Amino acid sequence: MKKLLLSVFVFFIIITSINSNDISWGENFYSYSSKAIATGTTFTRDISSAYITPSIIDTGGLYFSTSLLKKDIKNYYLSYRYNSFIFDIFYYDWGSFDYRNEYGENLGKYYAQNSSFSISYQFRYKNFSFAPQLRYNLKEIGNIKKTKLFVIPSVSYSFKKYHIETGFTVQNIYNQDFSTFIIYSQNRYDLKIRSDYLNKKFINNFGINYYFNKEKNYSIGVGLSNNNFTTGFGIQNNGLYFNYGLKIENENIFINSFSLKIDM
């Protein structure tokens, strides 16, 4: 089974490299995890981070999140794990925009949106975790539609003695866009760093989760996402998890993210 999946993975790497172009697909870096947003838009160990760090996931269940953004802008994210397979889907609606000609005359409105679906397969070898992902993206701007199939390798390694796990995810092989991540975990807190390389620039994110008891029923998070402040909290009981994340980009843009996860 693993050899078959590896063969399919290599095949799609070749196909996507041939059909690639230099279009920016920054939506592969969007943060749909409320818990990750609270901690500097870093990442998590649960299925809410299937879009960014699938190799580090160590829990299953069903996850849903949405965010309150500027007027007319909406996003929705859903992820699910079945055995070693991880599925996710997102929809990002940018709303409507005025379309004007060179003289400034309003010619009506156009709409923009992104959507995506992915399948990951996670397997482990000793202290390594691998999660190759196949992701299909659709980008629509007015009457223009662009699609792209991505093969996204994600690999992590656990230094169990030191409570550290680190790894990388290649979001776009052709454009060399990637993310690196590292987490240091103790009973009451997690320290996390995520660095994204997108459009030839590095974006650095830092965060910490603090848990108020050893069962981790209640937590708070703070962080910095590309120098923007983030915070949030989490509550969990009997396999039900609620998280809230806030990111302040400037005095006019606030991202309020809410999520619900159910153990299954």
pLDDT category of residue 67 using cuts at 50, 70 and 90:
confident
As given in the structure block, the two tokens for residue 73 are 């802008």
Distance CA 33, CA 43 (A): 8
As given in the structure block, the two tokens for residue 200 are 């030839």
Task: Give the H/E segment covering residue 13.
Answer: helix 2-18
Taking the CB of residue 3, how many other CB atoms lie within 10 A of it?
Answer: 7
Distance CA 190, CA 54 (A): 18
Q: Give the mean model confidence (pLDDT) for residues 2-27.
A: 47
Question: DSSP states of 14-45 as a string?
Answer: HHHHHT--S---GGGG----HHHHHTTS---S
Does 61 score more than 90 pLDDT? yes
Cα 1–Cα 264–Cα 39 angle in degrees, nearest 5? 95
Distance CA 14, CA 120 (A): 18
* Residue-wise burial string across 24-55, b where 16 or more C-beta atoms lie within 10 A, e elsewhere: ebebbbbbbbbbbbbbbbbbbbbbbbbbbbbb
Task: Give the H/E segment covering residue 88.
Answer: strand 85-100
Q: Pick the residue with more confidence: 40 or 25? A: 40
Question: Each residue of 165-196: pLDDT tens digit?
Answer: 999 999 877 777 889 999 999 989 999 999 99
**What is the overall mean pLDDT for the chain?**
84
Residue type, position 163, single letter: H
Does 249 score more than 80 pLDDT? no
pLDDT category of residue 27 using cuts at 50, 70 and 90:
low
Distance CA 166, CA 128 (A): 10
pLDDT category of residue 251 using cuts at 50, 70 and 90:
low
Distance CA 95, CA 63 (A): 25
**What are the structural domains of the chain?**
2-262 (2.40.160.60)
Handedness of CA 217, 222, 225, 230 (dihedral sign): positive
Does 164 score more than 80 pLDDT? yes
Does 30 score more than 90 pLDDT? no
- Whether the CB-CB separation of 37 and 255 falls below 8 Å is answered with yes
Three-class secondary structure of residue 26 per DSSP? helix
